[in-house]
Structures are given as structure tokens and as C-alpha cells.
Amino acid sequence: MKSNKLNQIILNIFMISLSVFCLIPIWLLFSASLTDDSEIIRNGYSFLPKDISISAYSYLFDGSLGIMNAYGITILVTIIGTVTGLALTAMLAYPLSRFEMPFKNTLAFFIFFTMLFNGGLVPTYLIYTNIFEIKNSLWALIVPSLLMNGYFIILMRTFFATSIPRPLIESAQIDGAKEWKIFYSMIIPLSTPVFGTIGLFYTLLYWNDWNNGLIYITDSHYYSLQNLLNRILQDIQFLQSSTQMGNKGDELVANLPLGSMRMAIACIGIVPLLIAFPFFQRFFVKGLTIGSVKG
Amino acid sequence: MRKNALKTVLFAIMALTLVITAACNNGKSGNSDTTSNESGETSSDLKPVNLVVAFPMVTDQKDMELVQNEISKITKEKINATVKLVPIGFGAYSQQKTLMLSSNEQVDLMISGLGTHSQDVAKGLYVELDDLLEKKGKGIKDAFETTIGSDILNAVKIKGKTYGIPVIRNMAQDISILMRKDLVEKYKIDASKIKTLDDLDPIFKIIKENEPNITPIAKSSNSILTVLNGINGELLGDGTGLSNKDPGLKVVNWFETEENAYLLNTVRRWYQAGYIDKDSATSTETGFHLMKAGKAFSYPNLIDPWFNEDSSTGRETVVVHLKSAPIATSSINSFMWSMAKNTVNQERAMMLLELMYTDKDVVNLLNYGIEGKHYVKVSDDIIDFPEGVNASNSSYFPAQVWMFGNSLLSYHLKGEDPEVHVKAAAATKNALKSKVLGFNFDSEPVRTEIAAVTNVMNQYQVALETGMIDPATKVPDFNKQLKAAGMDKIIAEKQKQLDAWAVSNK
């Protein structure tokens, strides 16, 4: 009894310190976003800003950077991308989990193959821009990530194959249910954990994606939040390491957002995800298959 | 109840999938005919075209489209072409350039150079311009002759052929140290007496002793020496250089030279005396921001020769000119205009380029936007922001005057030196030119060695040039590793190409 309590205390301390280690960087990020720029340069980042300044946020929201537009794009792309990605993944993974499926292994091999090899940047770009013409459109941010992740499909297929008992499907068939009916009346309700997990993966993937934007978007109307942040960082890096511009380079750097601004963008970038995460958590309850198959 | 909800969700998902597929198809058929639907009256016999111009830009300009339409009005009238401007972030520019040019996307004119010009030309990304210049671009040649000199235009030739037109701007720059004016005055420092790096020590000492919170010297770009290296020799890239002592063209390993040893020892001495920040090798803040925040007293930079005091970026500085930097190929070909191989019409693209080098209206539209909306005229050549507008809230103010064609045609912002264009032309024309101006190194034969040497340099160079590590013990290590990485082979190849260039150039 006593040792049990001691264990509890030790575990609690361990977990609390673990959480603190996770929270410290976020707090530092937040506090830096509220610090005055020259203060950061003079004294470095600190946990408690000496003089709080909201100038970074007011600059962000006065519209000259297009932050609000980028925010909207990110949210839209994340929602559409997650929902569509999840639907496509489930509808591909489910047939693959059924042993009656013809050409099952061939299909599975294709999926597995793309996990190891891809076409490379230039050929991929050529296909997407010349054949699908997604350059400078919202599709550029959605389509390339949709089915590109074989890992998600295999994860989902394994879940369907192992966690859903075959007799369950057979019993539904005996009751006269067709494949669609089985899929949406039985499989989906029983698979909320895997839908929740992969949905979360997709959300993170779309929310944090800057690579598609970097490659396919040159029109700033379609910048997502991460694109905007990435572009600012890349521009700063380029200008600071370029020696050929002399004092011209200085003038350009002067126009770019400084430390606290970048922190502020990162801050408003993570907040919606922090809110979304607990929402996903309720799906992580194991599907209630126990008891449905007897004997 | 639960079943119904699921049903709805599922149908929504299906519907979305369908919408996406459909929209993708629409995109496919919808925008292939953008170039052919330009119609309108024109007196010209030229077929109407739409020309795409791509360039790097730091901040997005809200009114880019308005400016684009204004420019199109001018070009429509003069060469019956419309213009589409495609600004791209500096950081993404080189990747975007490769992608756009390797697909069949239409790009007609674009900024080239940025340190990779000879590689890009070797890849065949650009159209050769000599014939076109002769036929349709005479104005560009004249513009060079009447301003900064044709030798600048000729210096960027690769194997005798032109693939890029340098921007007409001031290219003569001095290796300088920028110092905070208030502190210079406070401690009565006579900046005119500073001639060498050694003269800086006593000044840094005063600052260090009296202003404990201010770093005497900060870095510019990667290290303290990035700019100052030019005082003692000419760098040819990849760790090689030409010594100032040697009148000939002998390529040497820059890190084995006495000149570099002197610079490294100076920096080390400054570092040990506390004149350089301890973490400056890893810090990402450069001199400009550090000085603006009041943390640094000075930093080295390349500055226009006639600049003695600078307040353009919101801080008062005194400029100490140490030595004029000879105009080198690398400074000319850092920003050029090239014609992409994907161009739809070479002659028309050249005509548009000519406008960018000769037409004052086009140049100023690109630089400052639309009169009355983005700027107002104070006098003929001097402009100011309209009321309530400034550099940071203007909806069109790219502040990249030095990039759009002939920058000497641009207006002067109020407060700017109105003589600056005359000075720039004269300074560039009469400037000291590098001994190897016009030489372009073809790195292809030693590509693997360059990659290996670059790795070694990344490991040592910044630490040495900010004084973090002791040159007396580390430079021999550094050179040993450079040799192992194939430095000698690079030097031999450079020497070979340079000798061949020198012979053909005589």
C-alpha cells in the first residue's frame, strides 16, 4: 500500500516534469512573441519579458502581411484535406483488408512501393503542373498530399484486418447487407480509433505543410500560414548570407519582420492545433467489438 | 440516430471527393488559352503576346496587379504585348527557377545570376542574346554605353556569348566599416584617420571600456571577414583567391596566404579582447539589426563610394571607407535579366527588355507604382509618398530599385541625393576593375571536389573568421583537410581555365 503510494508520487513527479519540459519551449515562444524586438537582440530570449509589447501581433493583424488570408487558406485546406484524405484512405484500405478482394496483393505492392520510392521533385512537378495544372490554385495545397502516404493506408488496412472479426462481416452478409451497408454501418462505427488517429495525422500533415506551397505556389493569394512563415525565414536567411548586395541588402532586411514577429506567427500557427487535439482524443477509445462475436 | 449522422458524414465525404476531381478537370481545360485571347486595337503589325516576367521580391506588394495592368497599357501601345509579373520570394527563387524552366511553363524574362549563372547557362536554361541584342535591343547597348560602360555588359559573357544583361546600377563599392554616429561623436573619434584594420583597435578599446553593453564590431553576413577579406586579395570562390601582392594571375589557396593569416590574427585579437560577441559564429542576427537595436557599435559592409553618412534605414551611421572593392564578375552577374528558354517569342521578349532599360515610365512603374496612388511628384525627378502613406504601409513599394532594368532611370525619393545617378554612372565607369573581370569559372570538371571542400569550409571558416578558434593551431588542420578534400585539384583547374581565359582575352 505504502510502496504503491510512493510509486504514484514518483510517477507523478516524472510525468509533471515531462510535461514541463514540453511546455517550456512553448512558453518561451509565447513570451518571445510579446517581447520588443530590440529587447530580444540586446538580451536574448527570456521567460518573462521585461517590457511587454504587442507590436508584433498588431502588425500581424493589420493586414499588410496577408496573415488573415493565409490563416483562412490553412484552415480550409486542412479541413478539406483531412476529410478527403481520410475518405480516400479508408476506401482504399478497407477492400485491401478483405481477403475476397481480387488483385489484392498487386495493389498492396503498389502502395508499398511508393513508400520506398518516388518520382523525384522535377518529374512530380512536371506531372502536377503540366497534366493536372494545379500550379497556383488551392488544389496545389490539397491534392499532392492526398494519397501520397502509403503508411496511412497500411496502418488502416492492418486495423481493419486485425481488429474487426470476420464473422461480424459474414453475419451482416447473412442478414442481407451489401458491401456499402457493411462499410458504413459496421466498419466505420467500429473503427473510430483508427479514423481518429489517421485523421489527426492528416490534420497535422496539412496544417504544417509548407513544401507543396513552396513548390507549386508563387501567387501570394494562395499562401498558407506555414508558407508565409517559411518564406519570411528563407528570405531573411538568403539576404543575410548574401554579400553581393551591400547596403541594398540591409534595406531589404530592414523591411522584413524580426524575431518577435516570427514568434508571433508561430504562436498563432499552433493555437488552433492545440485546440483541435483534445477533440480528436475522444476517438481514441477502443472500438467496442468485444461481445459481438460469440463462440 | 448515430447511423444517420454517419451516413451524412459519409455522403459529404463522397461529395467532396467528386467536387475535387471535377474541379481538377476544370482547371485542366480552363487556362490553356490565356495567351490567345488578348484582343484590342493596335496600330502595330505585331501579333499580340502576353509576356511573363519572373523576379525575386522580398515582400508581397498588394497592388502588383494594378501596376502590371498599367505597364501592360504602355507595352500594348509600344510593342503590342501585355505583361504578367511573377514575384517570387528570394529564398525560394532558385528552386522555383529550376522547376519553372524544366517544365514547359511560360516564362519570358527572368532575373538570373544569384551566384549560379555559369551552371544555369551550362544547363541550357537561357537563350543566347547576342543576335537579339543586335536586332531588337540596340537601346540596351546604348544604355550601357551612356551610363556605366559597355565593359560591364561584356564581362558577363560565357564562352564569348551573352546569356544575361546586368542590371544598370552602381557597381563600384567600397569595403567600409559602418559606425554609430552618436558614439563616434560622443567619444570624439576621428573617423577620417582610420586607414587600416589596425587603426580600429584603439577605437574598439574606447567603446569596450566605456559602453560595456555594446559590442564594438558585429559580423556582416556570415562572419566578420566576409566583406573584409577583399582588403587583402581577391577571392575566386571555393577557398581560392588571388593575392594582392602578386601582379600576375596565380591562383592560391586563400587559407594558406599570409594576407589571410593577417586577417584571421586580427579577428582573433579582437575576439580575445572582447570586441566580438562570443556567440557571433552561431548567431543569426547580423550587424544591421544588432546596430539598430543598440547592441553593436560597428560592422563591415560594402558601401557606395560617395556615401559618408547613412541614415536611410533609420539609424545614423558614419561610413569609414577602407578600400575600394574592384568590380568583379561575381558582383556584376549577381543580378541580371535573362531570357528563359521557355519564352514564347524571343524578339518580343527582347523588345520588352529594351523597354525596361530605356523607358522611364516602365522603370518607374516597376519601382514605385502608379503616380497619384503610390507616389506623388514633388518635382520632375523627385517623388514622395502620398499623404498618410509611408514605406511600410504603402500598397506598392518593393524597394528594389536596383533590380528592374536600368535603375538609373528611376525617380529619386524625397531626401535622396538627386545627383545619385550621375555619381553612380561615373563611379562605376571609372571604378577599379578586377584583374579577372569577365572570367567565369566552369565548375563542372571538379564538382565533387568543390562539394568536399565546401564541407570542410563550412566546418572551419566561420569559426576562424569570427575569432572563435585560434588560427595558429587550427589553420594547419584546416588546410590539411582542404588538401585531403581535393583543394589542389580545384586550384589546378581554376589556374588552367584562368590561363586560357587570359590568353583569349588579350
A159 lies in the same domain as A189: yes
In A224-258, alpha helices (H): 225-241, 247-255
Number of domains in chain B: 2
Dist CA B151 CA B350 (whole Å)? 20
Domain interval for residue B385: 43-170+330-440
Higher pLDDT, B427 or B13: B427
B60 lies in the same domain as B192: no
∠ Cα B136 B137 B140 (to 5°): 165
Does the pTM of the predicted model rise above 0.90? no
The reported pLDDT for the residue numbered B4 is: 59
B47 lies in the same domain as B59: yes
B382-384/B376-377 β-pairing: antiparallel
For residue B71, the one-letter residue type is I
Q: What is the pLDDT of residues B114-158, one digit of tens each?
A: 777 878 888 888 888 888 888 888 888 888 888 887 788 888 888
Axis crossing angle, helix A2-33 with helix A259-281, rounded to the nearest 10: 140
Inspect the interface and report whether the beta carbons of A247 and B307 lie closer than 8 Å: yes
Q: How confident is the model at residue A18 (pLDDT cuts 50, 70, 90)?
A: very high
H helix or E strand, kind and range, residue B363 = helix B360-368
Closest chain B residue to the Cα of A230, Cα to Cα: B91
Tell me what the mean pLDDT of segment B386-402 comes to. Answer: 78
A118 lies in the same domain as A25: no
Report the share of chain B in percent with pLDDT over 70: 89
Q: How confident is the model at residue B310 (pLDDT cuts 50, 70, 90)?
A: low
Inspect the interface and report whether the beta carbons of B20 and A84 lie closer than 8 Å: yes
Tell me what the mean pLDDT of segment B376-388 comes to. Answer: 83
CA distance A106 to chain B (A): 24
When CB atoms are compared, the residue of A230, A241, A255 closest to B59 is A255
**Chain B partners of A258 at a C-beta cutoff of 8 Å?**
289
B312 lies in the same domain as B337: no
Q: What is the pLDDT of residues A193-217, one digit of tens each?
A: 888 888 888 988 899 888 888 888 8
Q: What is the pLDDT of residues B54-88, one digit of tens each?
A: 988 877 778 888 888 888 888 888 888 888 888 88
Q: For residue A250, tell me if it sits in a domain.
A: yes
Inspect the interface and report whether the beta carbons of A235 and B90 lie closer than 8 Å: yes
Inspect the interface and report whether the beta carbons of A125 and B102 lie closer than 8 Å: yes
The reported pLDDT for the residue numbered B35 is: 38
Residues 328-367 of B with CB under 8 A from A: 330-331, 334-335
The reported pLDDT for the residue numbered A295 is: 46
Which of A36, A88, A218 to probe the B interface (max B CBs under 10 A)? A218
Task: Please name every residue paired with B303 in a beta bridge, in sequence order, or none if there are none.
Answer: B174
The reported pLDDT for the residue numbered A20 is: 94
Identify the domain boundary among B393, B412, B440. B440
The enclosing domain of A214 has a CATH number of: 1.10.3720.10
A135 lies in the same domain as A195: yes
When CB atoms are compared, the residue of B28, B92, B295 closest to A231 is B92
The reported pLDDT for the residue numbered A11 is: 93
Closest chain B residue to the Cα of A65, Cα to Cα: B60
A115 lies in the same domain as A175: yes
Cell of A114: 511508393
Query: What's chain A's average pLDDT?
Result: 81
For residue A37, pLDDT beyond 60: yes
B63 lies in the same domain as B165: yes
Identify the domain boundary among B294, B329, B364. B329
Considering only A182-186, B22-26, B198-202, B306-310, which range has the smallest mean pLDDT?
B22-26
B161 lies in the same domain as B78: yes
The reported pLDDT for the residue numbered B36 is: 37
∠ Cα A158 A159 A161 (to 5°): 65
**Pick from B134, B151, B130, B501: nearest CA to B338:** B130
Residues 432-491 of B with CB under 8 A from A: none
Q: For residue A294, tell me if it sits in a domain.
A: no
Inspect the interface and report whether the beta carbons of A133 and B89 lie closer than 8 Å: no
CA distance A11 to chain B (A): 38
Domain interval for residue A71: 66-281
B282 lies in the same domain as B427: no
**Chain B partners of A238 at a C-beta cutoff of 8 Å?**
90-91, 93
A188 lies in the same domain as A84: yes
CA of residue B58 relative to chain centroid, distance? 12
Q: What is the pLDDT of residues B468-487, one digit of tens each?
A: 888 888 888 888 888 888 88
**Chain B partners of A56 at a C-beta cutoff of 8 Å?**
none
Query: What's chain B's average pLDDT?
Result: 80
A168 lies in the same domain as A114: yes
Higher pLDDT, A38 or A57: A57
Tell me what the mean pLDDT of segment A266-274 comes to. Answer: 83
Q: What spatial distance separates the first Cα and last Cα of chain B, rounded to whole Å?
A: 90
Tell me what the mean pLDDT of segment B226-247 comes to. Answer: 77
**Chain A partners of B461 at a C-beta cutoff of 8 Å?**
none
B179 lies in the same domain as B269: yes
Q: How confident is the model at residue A286 (pLDDT cuts 50, 70, 90)?
A: low
Q: For residue B480, tell me if it sits in a domain.
A: no
Closest chain A residue to the Cα of B62, Cα to Cα: A64
Whether residue B399 lies within 8 A of chain A, CB to CB, comes out as: yes
The reported pLDDT for the residue numbered A254 is: 64
A88 lies in the same domain as A148: yes
CA distance B36 to chain A (A): 18
Which of A36, A41, A76 to probe the B interface (max B CBs under 10 A)? A41
Q: For residue A231, tell me if it sits in a domain.
A: yes
B381 lies in the same domain as B253: no
A49 lies in the same domain as A77: no
Cell of A73: 487558406
For residue A17, pLDDT beyond 90: yes
When CB atoms are compared, the residue of A42, A237, A247 closest to B293 is A42
B186 lies in the same domain as B275: yes
Whether residue B91 lies within 8 A of chain A, CB to CB, comes out as: yes
Which of A132, A239, A245, A262 to probe the B interface (max B CBs under 10 A)? A245
**Chain B partners of A135 at a C-beta cutoff of 8 Å?**
105
Q: For residue B118, tell me if it sits in a domain.
A: yes
Sign of the CA dihedral B39, B41, B47, B48? negative
Q: What is the 3-state secondary structure (H, E, C) of A82-128?
A: HHHHHHHHHHHHHHHHCCCCCCHHHHHHHHHHHHHCCCCHHHHHHHH
The enclosing domain of B411 has a CATH number of: 3.40.190.10
Q: How many beta-carbon pairs below 8 A join chains A and B?
A: 165
**Chain A partners of B177 at a C-beta cutoff of 8 Å?**
none
B366 lies in the same domain as B355: yes
Q: Under the phi-then-psi rule, with left for phi > 0, alpha for psi from -120 to 50, and beta for the rest, what region is B438?
A: left
A109 lies in the same domain as A232: yes
Identify the domain boundary among B329, B350, B366. B329
Dist CA B171 CA B167 (whole Å)? 10
Helix (DSSP H) and strand (DSSP E) numbers for chain A? 16, 0
Tell me what the mean pLDDT of segment B294-306 comes to. Answer: 82
Q: How confident is the model at residue B10 (pLDDT cuts 50, 70, 90)?
A: low
Q: What is the pLDDT of residues B14-28, one digit of tens each?
A: 555 555 554 444 443
A35 lies in the same domain as A95: no
B316 lies in the same domain as B350: no
Higher pLDDT, B330 or B25: B330
Inspect the interface and report whether the beta carbons of A243 and B227 lie closer than 8 Å: yes
The reported pLDDT for the residue numbered A77 is: 92
Q: What is the dihedral of CA A175, A176, A181, A185, to 10 degrees?
A: -10
Whether residue B221 lies within 8 A of chain A, CB to CB, comes out as: yes
The reported pLDDT for the residue numbered A15 is: 94
B323 lies in the same domain as B177: yes
CB proximity list for B254: less than 8 A, separation 6 or greater: B229, B233, B235, B239, B240, B241, B260
**Chain B partners of A220 at a C-beta cutoff of 8 Å?**
60, 87
Dist CA A133 CA B24 (whole Å)? 8
CA distance B43 to chain A (A): 33
**Chain A partners of B11 at a C-beta cutoff of 8 Å?**
none
Q: For residue B292, tell me if it sits in a domain.
A: yes
A1 lies in the same domain as A79: no
**Chain B partners of A214 at a C-beta cutoff of 8 Å?**
92, 95
Q: Contact A129/A216 with Cβ under 8 angstroms? A: yes
Tell me what the mean pLDDT of segment A233-257 comes to. Answer: 64
The reported pLDDT for the residue numbered B49 is: 86
For residue B285, pLDDT beyond 80: no
Higher pLDDT, B424 or A12: A12
CA distance A87 to chain B (A): 6
Residues 226-245 of B with CB under 8 A from A: 226-227
Dist CA B237 CA B331 (whole Å)? 12
A74 lies in the same domain as A19: no
The reported pLDDT for the residue numbered B27 is: 40
Inspect the interface and report whether the beta carbons of B392 and A130 lie closer than 8 Å: no
Number of domains in chain A: 2
